[in-house]
Amino acid sequence: MDLTSASINFSIIYPEISLLIAAALILVSVFHKSANRIAPYIALIGIVVSIAMIFKQWGHQESGFFGMITCDSFGVTFKLIFDVTALLSLLIAHRYMISKGINRPEFYALLLISTMGMMVMANTTDLIVIFLGLEIMSVPLYVMAGFAKRSLWSSEAGIKYFIMGAFASSFLLMGIAFIYGASSTTDLRRIVADFHFIMSNSPAYMLTGMALILVGFGFKIGAVPFHSWVPDVYEGAPTPVTAFFSVGPKAAGIAALLRIFIFGFANVMMLSTVFWVLAVLTMSVGNILALKQNNIKRLLAYSSIAHAGYILVALTVGGNDAISAAIFYLVAYIMFNLGAFAVVTLMETRSGCKSDFSELVGLAKVHPYLAAVLTLFMFALAGFPPTAGFFGKFYIFSAAIKSGYIWLAVIGMLNSFLSVYYYLRVVKTSYFDSSDKSFIPVKYSLSIIIVLVITVIGTLGIGLFPQQFLNWSQSALFAFL
């Protein structure tokens, strides 16, 4: 084997390395007294450098580390998605962590390493690396969910997430073992090359392995029936962490699912039926349970389940159109979901707030702009026309209809009509309800304002120029299929 640096190709993991170095600096800086203050800035620099490195990689297709890393435009696109998520979550978190007295440098280091794990997951075709990336992503998330140690809710969220996540990981690992047993390789590219031979030789092992892998990722993206941890964890964890959870791991899980099931195990007819059932269950259960929620964080938790369902529709359909629609939807979802969480975080930095609906009353009178922004995000989540949410759903459902999944599209559309009810309830409460308690004003901070500006521009920009954006997300598929 050639042991020179040429076969290693270091340059393709520069984004990961810059995140890792920033995290390491933060961890070592705990010797210093002002570590709490400098940590967010180190993290910020790390993410910005990482984004710069990603732009350098744009358009190249390379592999390295003896084929363990595949850095194609699909992977690079997802790297960018994860970095933007981390950047926005960092900006949302900073002020909140200080106000709750949990601004500790470890948080930022864990955020960076978790993001790095997601990048690892999306940039490989090897199942072992996917598993390791998943663990590097998940372990920091368990800690981050329980980061507010003085809050019982947060500790509960941490423990619940940890137990469920460890359980899901073991399913995934068992699935990978089955696949390895059938094909004697963990590299998806080699599995694809010999797919018919492997499938005819040991179909039982392959199918069992696929089922177990699907269960593992189903947990991670919060698909029904593996969703039971989602509401409690989302409600209990510190709000910026919830913001990060609701998009980051979901995007990473979708990336890995696309790699494994659309690239690796395409042509298995049974799979599209399984995905069909999963998608319908996930959309419907998420939306129906969201109807009765009285806490915004819980509502957003159920809504995130429902949105995972819409993306699963794209996975059911498969093919170029649906996958580019899924990537489009994912980016749009990150924009308006993080925006909504930024507003919730801003509300929660007031003392004693738990994000109940009653705390929204009077928002429109005291902060008309904030109420307008919240309304925009709710419209986008519900999928109203000039926003990104509408086009995301539109592209997914039209891809479904084009491929003949009429019923799936119909169920999806009915679900989005259902979701309008609870999203508009948030708007209605903040505009029209009245109560005897007066609304406590919130204090803006620069970082939150930056987040709100970015997410509003994203939500509206994608909505106003959907075609350009769809072209971009189609270019992400170029080397992939």
From 80-88, 92-100, 258-266, 392-400, span contacting another protein (CB under 8 A): 92-100
d(CA 272, CA 279) in angstroms, rounded, equals: 10
Q: Is the dihedral of CA 301, 305, 310, 314 positive or negative?
A: positive
d(CA 204, CA 192) in angstroms, rounded, equals: 17
From 25-33, 52-60, 281-289, 428-436, span contacting another protein (CB under 8 A): 25-33
User: Looking only at residues 50 through 79 of this chain, which bind another protein when binding is defined by CB under 8 A?
Assistant: 65-69
**Residue with smaller CB distance to another protein, 100 or 307:** 100
d(CA 218, CA 257) in angstroms, rounded, equals: 9
DSSP SS3 for 52: helix
From 47-55, 115-123, 268-276, 424-432, span contacting another protein (CB under 8 A): 115-123
User: Looking only at residues 260 through 289 of this chain, which bind another protein when binding is defined by CB under 8 A?
Assistant: none
132 counts as binding another protein under rule CB under 8 A: yes
d(CA 158, CA 171) in angstroms, rounded, equals: 20
Burial of 262 (0-12, 13-18, 19+ CB in 10 A): buried
Among 3, 434, 436, 467, the residue binding another protein under the rule CB under 8 A is 3
Site string for another protein, 208-247 (x = CB under 8 A): x---------------------------------------
d(CA 211, CA 305) in angstroms, rounded, equals: 20
d(CA 108, CA 110) in angstroms, rounded, equals: 5
DSSP SS3 for 434: coil
DSSP annotation of 441: P
User: Looking only at residues 179 through 198 of this chain, which bind another protein when binding is defined by CB under 8 A?
Assistant: 180-184, 198
User: Looking only at residues 290 through 319 of this chain, which bind another protein when binding is defined by CB under 8 A?
Assistant: none
Using alpha carbons only, give the angle 414, 316, 84 rounded to the nearest 5 degrees: 85
Query: Closest distance between another protein and the C-beta of residue 73, in Å?
Result: 20
100 counts as binding another protein under rule CB under 8 A: yes
Site string for another protein, 133-152 (x = CB under 8 A): x-xx--xx-xx--xxxxxx-
Among 38, 48, 51, 98, the residue binding another protein under the rule CB under 8 A is 98
**Residue with smaller CB distance to another protein, 237 or 257:** 237
Of 345, 343, 396, which is closest to residue 367 (Cα–Cα)?
343
Q: Is the dihedral of CA 72, 131, 319, 223 positive or negative?
A: negative
DSSP SS3 for 356: strand
**Residue with smaller CB distance to another protein, 191 or 247:** 191
Query: Closest distance between another protein and the C-beta of residue 195, in Å?
Result: 14
d(CA 456, CA 24) in angstroms, rounded, equals: 33
165 counts as binding another protein under rule CB under 8 A: no
HSE-up (13 A, CA, CB side) for residue 232 = 15
Among 14, 48, 62, 153, the residue binding another protein under the rule CB under 8 A is 153
6 counts as binding another protein under rule CB under 8 A: no
**Residue with smaller CB distance to another protein, 274 or 372:** 274
28 counts as binding another protein under rule CB under 8 A: yes
CA distances from 240 to 18, 324, 408, 438, 475 (A): 23, 28, 34, 26, 31
**Residue with smaller CB distance to another protein, 126 or 321:** 126
User: Looking only at residues 331 through 370 of this chain, which bind another protein when binding is defined by CB under 8 A?
Assistant: 348-354
From 201-209, 245-253, 270-278, 461-469, span contacting another protein (CB under 8 A): 201-209
What are residue 178's phi and psi, to 5 degrees? -65, -45
Instruction: Tell me which amino acid residue 378 is.
Output: M
How many residues touch another protein under the rule CB under 8 A: the total is: 71
Query: Closest distance between another protein and the C-beta of residue 433, in Å?
Result: 22
